[in-house]
Structure 1
Amino acid sequence: MGNKSSSVQQPLDSFSHWNDLPPELKSACIKHLDFKTRFLLRSTSRAERALVDNQKFCLEHVQIKGLLPYPVNALIPTGFDEQKLTIVPSSHPETAIVIRIRNLTRFFETVLPLLVFILTRSVINEFSVELIRGNDWSTILGESLQTTQLNVRSFHGVVLKNPEVTFFVTRLGPITKSIYLDGNTSNKFPIEDLMNNDIVTNARMLRIRDLTCKDAVWKLAEKWIENDSEIGTTFQVTSVHGHSIPHFVQKFRDRIIFENHDEVRITTNNPSKHILLKLARRWRVSRPLTCVVISSYMKKEEYESFGHWVSKKVMPIWEYLSFVFTDDFHEDDGLNCYSFIILLFHCLWLIITVLFKHVFGRN
């Protein structure tokens, strides 16, 4: 027993002969390194960088966001000095890496190279990026990601500007299965470009918040019919007008199976598939809609729950504010009067901080 226990190998504290190893053996070792060690290794020399960059690795979650949650961040986007980058490895999710960005110089010197490394060399299960005040992601990352295809399974673009939406979506690869975007009630939101993008039209889940285009639903449904999209393919949208269902009915009049004010069911070219458009919830202004490819054998009671994705987190900011002093808030909405009061205090603190910097930060 003593001999057996003494033969157990102990981890090495250092490896002084790393430079003596052939590249093939180094590559074999790199496959077993975690994300942090890979990134540190690639900064030691050009040879090591080439070896590290030659191998893909997996990350569970990558998020760069500001301090303010929706809907406040739609009005007050935070700057580089108030950003947080979160990286969650796939192999050890409990060892999440959180980097707080305190100034613009530090971002470009340290965080940007790290972010470029992640986006170009990794396969990310979920990637979320948020608008930054006074800057444009397409300009910041444009040169570094000029020919890069993003290996992202689920993409979240939070209150991005229209050029940023186009920049990221056009770089998504075939592994992308879900896309979440904000229309920001902009009449110039690039919905036409999105509808001509195969990655978007083939996504299993597409969600757009605050969309003004009344034709988006029927245009995407038309693509689904052409592509014979899989059952379960879903488009969730909060529209800021009530014309989406009438336009859908007008476009597919000859395909309608069932129609009322809240839902429309139509046939496709495949006898085993139908498309359902359902009003998920009635609000004062916005219209949260679910459009989904369903089995032709599905009964009405089976899709009653299709509207459960909707909460006040996805409503436009002006309508959200209209609920503050009413009794329409519920726990399942995620946001309530108490959280709104906290947001107000947060905004007040932000204003005081900005004024303090402006008054006492002068030279």
Structure 2
Amino acid sequence: MASIEPIYDTNWSDMPDDIKLECIGKMKFTERLSLRCTAKAERSLVDSQKIKFTSGRFEGNHDFLGFELSRDNECEFWMRSKDLNKGLELVKYVKKIGLFESLTFSSIYFRSFEEEFFNDDELFTVKHIKFNEFDINQVVIALRKMKNGVESIKIESALSDDIGQILAISHVQNVPYWHITECRCTNSLHKVAQMWIDKNSTVGSTFQASMYEDGWNSFEEFLDQFDDRIISKSDKRTRIRTNNPDRHILLERGVDDVITIDNFTQFYRLMVISADLGESEYDDNCKEWICKIYPGMHVYDW
């Protein structure tokens, strides 16, 4: 027999705080917004309760700010406001109480992005972050406003600037997986590897990148940079030693019967691996990890 929730025959104002908090925990986001507008005491109670979101999305430009919040994979709140002050005030509240499984930042082109969107002490709590159409400075600003515990970072932007700023951020140094699509920084592969060497990064750390012709030299630059560390190399893979005898770094080029070495777009995967991993244990299914960068890689359907 299903349990029956207790019914309290009393006014909200007469309820003890512990009962109010239990009620708030069952409220939807819009209901919490309404309640926190009733009185200062109620606002404090509402703001003390975290709320889990399966996903969130923020976007905007000089004229509007919009965001969408979903719980249990259903949209629970959507807003698109030309009143930036109102929108930014709500963003601060979302940062304070939101626990995000995934969060996407898309096309935010404010004139003073860092002042308008991230100029407060609150931090986002999120596991998986995605950036669409962000420049490198915006990515850096946003990542600095994340709490520890980020599990993946996806940068869906054509970054041509040096990624040194990104590599200096602790989230990037410790994240298990991250990638950049259309990366135009030819030294990105060896810079990520050097960061892993310096930080003694854990086995399983993975970086992936897709590059057009202006990034084709990345593989060769990697070989030149780590010439004295190379354990084995081929057209498809290069393995280097780190300062830790238990760990190596493996660079793979995504090449198979469909994606060739002369393909206009080149795909790379960089991983920290165990020094005990044998070459016979390498994963030859590059289609799987290429599609992690480009889920809709239609070339495999031809």
TM-score over 0.5 for the pair: yes
What is the aligned partner in structure 2 of residue 99 from structure 1? 78
What is the aligned partner in structure 1 of residue 290 from structure 2? 310
Q: CA deviation at 1:48?
A: 1.2
What is the aligned partner in structure 2 of residue 346 from structure 1? none
Confirm whether residue 331 of structure 1 aligns to residue 298 of structure 2: no
Between Structure 1 and Structure 2, the one with more helix by share is 1
Per mean C-alpha deviation after superposition, the further-off stretch among 263-272 and 302-311 is 302-311
Which structure 2 segments of 5+ residues have no match?
none
- Structure 2 SS opposite 1:207: strand
- Check conservation: 1:255, 1:266, Cα contact below 8 A: yes
Confirm whether residue 131 of structure 1 aligns to residue 107 of structure 2: yes
What is the aligned partner in structure 1 of residue 203 from structure 2? 231
Aligned amino acid, residue 24 of structure 2: I
Q: CA deviation at 1:277?
A: 0.5
What is the aligned partner in structure 2 of residue 70 from structure 1? none
CA deviation vs aligned residue, 1:54-106 (integer Å, no higher than 9, x gap): 2323222112358xxxxxxxxxx99749x6x43222xxx154325263x524x
- Structure 2 SS opposite 1:276: strand
Within the candidate set 182, 192, 199, 1:220 is matched to 192
Q: CA deviation at 1:275?
A: 0.9
- Check conservation: 1:236, 1:288, Cα contact below 8 A: yes
What is the aligned partner in structure 1 of residue 168 from structure 2? 196
- Could you tell me how far apart the structure 2 residues matched to 1:15 and 1:132 are? 48
- Could you tell me how far apart the structure 2 residues matched to 1:264 and 1:300 are? 11
Aligned amino acid, residue 329 of structure 1: V
Q: CA deviation at 1:127?
A: 0.3
Task: Give the 5 Å matches for 1:174-323.
Answer: 174-186=148-160, 189=161, 191-240=163-212, 241-281=215-255, 282=260, 284-301=263-280, 302-306=282-286, 308-311=288-291, 314=294
Within the candidate set 42, 54, 64, 1:60 is matched to 54
Aligned residues: 294
- Could you tell me how far apart the structure 2 residues matched to 1:10 and 1:179 are? 41
Q: CA deviation at 1:296?
A: 2.4
CA deviation vs aligned residue, 1:215-251 (integer Å, no higher than 9, x gap): 2211221221232222211001123322211221122
Aligned amino acid, residue 99 of structure 2: V
**Who wins on radius of gyration, i.e. which is larger?**
1
What is the aligned partner in structure 2 of residue 119 from structure 1? 95
Root-mean-square deviation over aligned CA pairs: 3.4
Question: Structure 1's 307 and 329: CA in aligned 2 closer, same or farther, altered over 3 A?
Answer: closer
- Could you tell me how far apart the structure 2 residues matched to 1:10 and 1:230 are? 47
Question: Structure 1's 306 and 44: CA in aligned 2 closer, same or farther, altered over 3 A?
Answer: farther
Aligned amino acid, residue 30 of structure 1: I
Confirm whether residue 21 of structure 1 aligns to residue 15 of structure 2: yes
Q: CA deviation at 1:295?
A: 2.2
| Identical pairs, percent | 23
What is the aligned partner in structure 1 of residue 121 from structure 2? 147
CA deviation vs aligned residue, 1:148-188 (integer Å, no higher than 9, x gap): 222111110111133321220111221112111134243xx
CA deviation vs aligned residue, 1:11-42 (integer Å, no higher than 9, x gap): 65x97522123444433443444434323322
- Check conservation: 2:150, 2:175, Cα contact below 8 A: yes
- Structure 2 SS opposite 1:329: helix
Which structure 1 segments of 5+ residues have no match?
67-76, 316-322, 333-363
Between Structure 1 and Structure 2, the one with more strand by share is 2
- Could you tell me how far apart the structure 2 residues matched to 1:139 and 1:213 are? 28
Question: Structure 1's 132 and 97: CA in aligned 2 closer, same or farther, altered over 3 A?
Answer: same
Within the candidate set 35, 39, 46, 2:33 is matched to 39
- Could you tell me how far apart the structure 1 residues matched to 2:9 and 2:63 are? 42
Query: Normalising by the residue count of structure 1, what TM-score does the alignment of the two structures yield?
Result: 0.69
Question: Structure 1's 127 and 47: CA in aligned 2 closer, same or farther, altered over 3 A?
Answer: same
- Structure 1 SS opposite 2:299: coil
